Structure 1
Amino acid sequence: MPRLILGSTSRYRRELLARLRIPFDVVAPEVDETPLPGEAPDALARRLALAKAHAVAARHPDAVVIGSDQVADLEGQSLGKPGDHARATAQLRAMRGRTVMFQTALAVVHRASGFADSALVPVRVRFRALDDAEIEAYLQAEQPYDCAGSAKSEGLGIALLDAITSDDPTALVGLPLIATCRLLRAAGLRLL
């Protein structure tokens, strides 16, 4: 079986992929994540997932490489990782009482065999009508500055939400494992 590499520095994706109980390495993809002018959130997520997988595969052509990216889509506006408290506050204020699509893209590339495929797994999230005190308490507790849209549903962020709708419950955390399994099987990896 070829070597498997997760082309991501995200600890969330690393934890999710570990659930599959197959050995893998982690390599930083070193990709510019700047959106292109007018780029839709779903297109941005898919482009970055493919770019990450191809960047790592170029350095490790015999490995099967997974790339992934997530963009919060607020009515066509991309919300990425906030990076700091002020941006996280602004993101959560903008999302309160609204429905946000978290566009989670996945790509699997195996250069040695010529395999490359991708998937987009959207997650519809309805936020509660949060007040400023709730937003501040959440940010102080979680400090989710490395998460698209500032919401960590696997932690206290679940208290921000009214509903989550998705075909894959792991997509919101950052790596849709159902699609990952499908693409890894298509690339020739045995999972069971």
Structure 2
Amino acid sequence: MPDIEEAPRAPGRPRSLRVDEAIISATLDLLAEGTSVEVLSIEAIATRAGVGKATIYRRWAGKEALLHDALATLKSAGPEPTGESIRVDLVAMLSQVGPSNHDPRFAKIMPCIIPHLTRSEEHYQAYQDIIEPRRDRIRQVLRRGVEAGELRADLDVELAMTALIGPILVQRVLRWHPDLDADKMPEQIVDLLMGGMKPA
């Protein structure tokens, strides 16, 4: 790969987004190719990105900070609730759970990252920081349903959100059940659980 090292910056000059993207992409490529988090190094990332290690350290304090930002790019912002109905919004949001076309590397990286999250509180918290905005959108839809009377007043929103997301995430990341179609599951799961979430 040709060297894309940026020229020395004048004071106040913004850093190169092209270099940032090359570093992030190199990090994700190495993880997708099977490099474990423990083995992943700044030196390997710099070599793959065609930059010097100093260029990376000017942007990130270390591997942990870079890894956090790289993994964050794997998740798109997700759809905005349309407000058409609670069911429609939930199905649309659950359709974005797990690996998607946003970045095909996601499917290869996440199964390798998940065991690491159980061994590192820092990485677990970083993962929570990444997924919380998307999770909060689903939480808001459920709360809207409660306020509108579409969902039961005593609904445990956190438990309902977990029940909605969990099966789809397990199927898409681990392919837990070979006979289930993960693409059909968002609608199926919502319809299955809506009966228990609606007012009696």
- Whether the TM-score (by the shorter chain) exceeds 0.5 is no
What TM-score does the superposition give when structure 1 sets the normalisation length?
A: 0.27
Q: Comparing both structures, which one devotes a greater share of its residues to helix? A: 2
What TM-score does the superposition give when structure 2 sets the normalisation length?
A: 0.26
Say which one has the larger Rg: 2
Q: Comparing both structures, which one devotes a greater share of its residues to strand? A: 1
